Structure 1
């Protein structure tokens, strides 16, 4: 069942899918409709299942599922990955590539391959104060507290 993101438990599972490019304003309404439709139909047979999403910076798709009363099976997770793969194909973006880094440069969110990010750190174009996104977190609590943080406070600080 689709619920408001704010009503989901802090222990809920989170999956963050950064897009290899910013989605265009003309794509955003359709993408949000597709995401909401997926969530509304995800595990419809289970009335205790609660899920939501966030679509942030026109770049990040965040799926959230509270499985405290209704456990997620492998096939439930497979369904979400299949949905993300469909979005990748439809919009010609990468959403499942975990070998990238998202960070802020001014008001803009950048998406770089890890090797290119290391070069930016080396050339001091990115510093310990630069805001990075930890797309590997897996709970709503971590998302709300540790997703968008200075590089020096993240696991990326090893590149400094």
Structure 2
């Protein structure tokens, strides 16, 4: 299935890395969900996947049917179920993620600030912008150097 660059995207970041078994179980739940995900009775052209064992990403191409509040609520309920079942935090927008030594590190906003202030995170450090809104942004602005992300303006006082 091909998705338009304007397809809506939602990114949920885990506070810890999922194990291989967890990824497999979560992806089965996501596939089952997207296969029956509807908006006002219309099947949504959607996919959902675990990316880098840390992120759950939903994509919906609204060419066939538009996402509605009720359909978004259904996806949020699924994410909350995953949180409970796997004992992870997927809704804390103050959790940050960056790449260090080719590995993803997830940590609290406070720890992230500390690493910036001691120069462990710098302008070229890859960070994840989980605020992307569509597939084009996801593909071009999700994984970006710190200096090109929203993080740089929020944490500029620490550089």
TMscore range, shorter length:
over 0.9
Superposition TM-score, scaled by structure 2 size? 0.92
CA deviations 1:19-71 (Å, max 9, x no partner) are 11100112221111111101011118314x20012321111110001123311
SS in structure 1 of the partner of residue 71 of structure 2: helix
Map of 1:118 onto structure 2: 113
Map of 2:66 onto structure 1: 71
Map of 2:144 onto structure 1: 149
CA deviations 1:118-153 (Å, max 9, x no partner) are 110000111111000000111000000010010011
CA RMSD of aligned residues (A): 1.3
Map of 1:11 onto structure 2: 6
Map of 2:57 onto structure 1: 62
SS in structure 2 of the partner of residue 81 of structure 1: helix
Distance 1:31 1:83 in 2: 10
More deviation in 51-60 or 15-24?
51-60
Q: Which runs of 5 or more residues in structure 1 are unaligned?
A: none
Map of 1:129 onto structure 2: 124
Distance 1:41 1:103 in 2: 33
Distance 1:54 1:145 in 2: 18
Aligned length: 154
Distance 1:130 1:152 in 2: 8
SS in structure 1 of the partner of residue 6 of structure 2: coil
Map of 1:26 onto structure 2: 21
Distance 1:66 1:25 in 2: 28
Map of 2:42 onto structure 1: 46
Q: Quick one: which of 76, 82, 85 aligns to 2:80?
A: 85
Q: Does 1:104 align with 2:99?
A: yes
Q: Which runs of 5 or more residues in structure 2 are unaligned?
A: none
Distance 2:37 2:71 in 1: 8
